[in-house]
């Protein structure tokens, strides 16, 4: 999974994976909450757009997959005797949400923005899982992150395709470009820290 395939404009700072490996307990805790938020976000989309069949049909199995990921991360925490603890502040997602928010009257445009923000987080997670799978010493975690990378890449495609189901592909591409530019800007300004997945 390359950056080009995912569309991301800025690769992760190369120092990240090394400091993440040194803080793998914190990374796993943050990761568990990323999976929880992914599942919750799909449930919200299903409830909010229950009249849209493709949303309900596509995202219902994704909820189950994300919750399965949550369970798998919990298992990795348990193996290491690390308690899940409380959720930490997610600066990356908070900044994405606040910077990409806009007043929207059209329901499909609102849906597209919701789907694209999910696609963006999947794409960045996918890139980070790839870095972990290729660079950390723990062989069990290498395999774990490789499997999850493949799964999140599938979700990324699901979200883009759903957006294209309800809006013209050209419009989706145009808005996606704006999302990518904002994401790259956030990435460039966020501190590189070893206790966050993003």
Provide the binding-site residues for Fe ion, judged by CB under 5 A: 35, 38, 66, 69, 122, 152, 155
Least distance in Å: CB of 98 to Fe ion?
22
Least distance in Å: CB of 11 to Fe ion?
20
Least distance in Å: CB of 170 to Fe ion?
26
Determine the longest span between alpha carbons in the chain, in angstroms. 50
Contact between 132 and 17 (Cβ < 8 Å): yes
Least distance in Å: CB of 168 to Fe ion?
25
CB atoms inside a 10 Å sphere around CB 23: 15
As a whole number of angstroms, the distance between CA 131 and CA 152 comes to 14
As a whole number of angstroms, the distance between CA 136 and CA 109 comes to 40
As a whole number of angstroms, the distance between CA 6 and CA 127 comes to 8
User: What CA dihedral angle connects 74, 98, 63 and 158, to 10 degrees?
Assistant: -120
Select 109 or 150, whichever has its Cβ closest to Fe ion: 150
Instruction: Output the CA–CA distances (angstroms, integers) from residue 198 to 33, 49, 125, in the order listed.
Output: 12, 28, 7
Least distance in Å: CB of 152 to Fe ion?
4
Q: What share of the chain is helix, strand, coil (3-state, %, to 5)?
A: 75, 0, 25
Select 26 or 122, whichever has its Cβ closest to Fe ion: 122
Select 119 or 136, whichever has its Cβ closest to Fe ion: 119
Select 128 or 175, whichever has its Cβ closest to Fe ion: 128
Least distance in Å: CB of 121 to Fe ion?
8
Select 5 or 18, whichever has its Cβ closest to Fe ion: 5
As a whole number of angstroms, the distance between CA 195 and CA 95 comes to 17
Select 109 or 161, whichever has its Cβ closest to Fe ion: 161
């Amino acid at each position: 999974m390359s950056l080009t395939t995912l569309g991301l404009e800025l690769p992760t700072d190369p120092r990240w994976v090394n400091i993440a490996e040194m803080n793998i307990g914190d990374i796993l805790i943050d990761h568990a909450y990323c999976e929880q938020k992914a599942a919750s976000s799909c449930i919200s989309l299903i409830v909010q757009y229950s009249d849209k069949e493709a949303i309900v049909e596509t995202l219902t199995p994704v909820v189950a997959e994300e919750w399965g990921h949550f369970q798998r991360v919990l298992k990795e925490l348990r193996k290491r005797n690390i308690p899940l603890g409380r959720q930490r502040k997610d600066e990356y997602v908070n900044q994405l949400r606040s910077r990409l928010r806009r007043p929207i009257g059209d329901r499909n445009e609102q849906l597209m923005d919701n789907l694209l923000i999910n696609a963006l987080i999947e794409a960045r997670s996918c890139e980070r899982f790839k870095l972990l799978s290729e660079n950390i010493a723990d062989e069990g975690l290498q395999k774990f992150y490789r499997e999850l990378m493949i799964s999140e890449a599938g979700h990324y495609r699901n979200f883009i395709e759903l957006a294209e189901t309800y809006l013209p592909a050209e419009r989706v591409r145009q808005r996606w470009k704006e999302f990518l530019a904002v994401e790259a800007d956030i990435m460039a300004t966020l501190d590189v820290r070893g206790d966050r997945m993003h």
